[in-house]
């Protein structure tokens, strides 16, 4: 699609997105705990991580469809899904405020929580974000093994 076609048929876009220890989207705000990291250190592989949140701020043009599908996947650096080719999806209902000006964009926040993710090996991973079935954003991060400390010598 060229830029003229895109401007005639605008779609929701991601203004920003981040990974965090925990994220909640409430009342148009993102509540983020331990957000914005790009390195995850684990003790050994395969590694099971208890919880990772993805916080997303969308820009939705108006007028737009009454709803759209927002999805998040988890991929390794080889482009394979760790979620078994089943993206975590939600239908987003678009309800503009009463005082919205025609043609104005509106912001929307969404949060996804992933519990007990398993990372089979060290390396690069990412959370691609999709509107309908089009990838619109990607959050890259790395999972590495924590360096072990050498034992302390006795009597020193």
Residue-level pLDDT, tens digit, the chain, 156 residues: 444 444 556 789 999 999 999 999 999 999 999 999 999 999 999 999 999 999 999 998 876 667 899 999 999 999 999 998 788 898 988 876 666 666 678 889 999 999 999 999 999 999 999 999 999 999 999 999 998 776 777 765
How far from the centroid of its chain's Cα atoms is residue 134's Cα?
Answer: 14
Q: Residue 93: its pLDDT value, please? A: 87
* CB neighbour class for 126 (10 Å; exposed up to 12, middle 13-18, buried from 19): middle
d(CA 72, CA 11): 17
Q: Residue 45: its pLDDT value, please? A: 94
Q: Residue 64: its pLDDT value, please? A: 67
Q: Residue 62: its pLDDT value, please? A: 74
pTM for this model (two decimals): 0.84
Q: Residue 145: its pLDDT value, please? A: 95
Q: Residue 5: its pLDDT value, please? A: 47
Q: Residue 155: its pLDDT value, please? A: 63
d(CA 146, CA 86): 30
């Amino acid at each position: 699609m060229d830029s003229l076609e895109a401007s005639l048929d605008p779609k929701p876009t991601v203004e920003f997105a981040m990974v965090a220890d925990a994220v909640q989207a409430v009342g148009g705000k993102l509540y983020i705990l331990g957000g914005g990291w790009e390195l995850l250190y684990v003790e050994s592989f395969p590694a099971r991580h208890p919880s990772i949140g993805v916080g997303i701020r969308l820009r939705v043009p108006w007028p737009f469809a009454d709803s759209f599908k927002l999805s998040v996947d988890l991929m390794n650096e080889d482009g394979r899904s760790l979620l078994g080719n089943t993206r975590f999806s939600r239908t987003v209902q678009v309800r503009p405020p009463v005082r919205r000006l025609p043609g104005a964009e509106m912001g929307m926040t969404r949060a996804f929580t992933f519990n007990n993710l398993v990372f089979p090996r060290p390396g690069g991973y990412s959370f691609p974000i999709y509107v309908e079935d089009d990838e619109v954003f990607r959050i890259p991060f790395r999972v590495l093994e924590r360096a072990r400390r050498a034992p302390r010598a006795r009597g020193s």
